[in-house]
């Protein structure tokens, strides 16, 4: 995706309209790799414990 992650999160939530609380974190693979290389504890926990509910192959 292009642009800021917050805008992509808002776009996804607007389309999905979840009925339960959702913590949606949108990052490019490059952004995620950078943060993990910096030992970002939060994203390390997300990767370790979180669930991918959709992943595009493009």
pLDDT at position 2:
83
What is the rounded CA–CA span in Å between residue 2 and residue 29? 12
The answer to whether 3 and 24 have CB atoms below 8 angstroms apart is no
Of 55 and 11, which is predicted with more confidence? 11
- pTM of this prediction? 0.68
Q: Any idea where the domains of the chain sit in the sequence? A: 5-49
- Give residue 58's pLDDT band: very low, low, confident or very high (50, 70, 90): low
Query: pLDDT tens-digit profile of 23-45?
Result: 888 998 899 999 999 999 999 99
């Amino acid at each position: 995706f292009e642009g800021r992650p917050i805008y992509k999160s808002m776009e996804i939530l607007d389309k999905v309209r979840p009925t339960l609380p959702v913590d949606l974190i949108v990052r490019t693979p490059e952004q995620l790799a950078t943060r993990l290389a910096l030992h970002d504890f939060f994203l390390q926990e997300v990767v370790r414990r979180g669930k991918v509910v959709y992943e595009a192959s493009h």
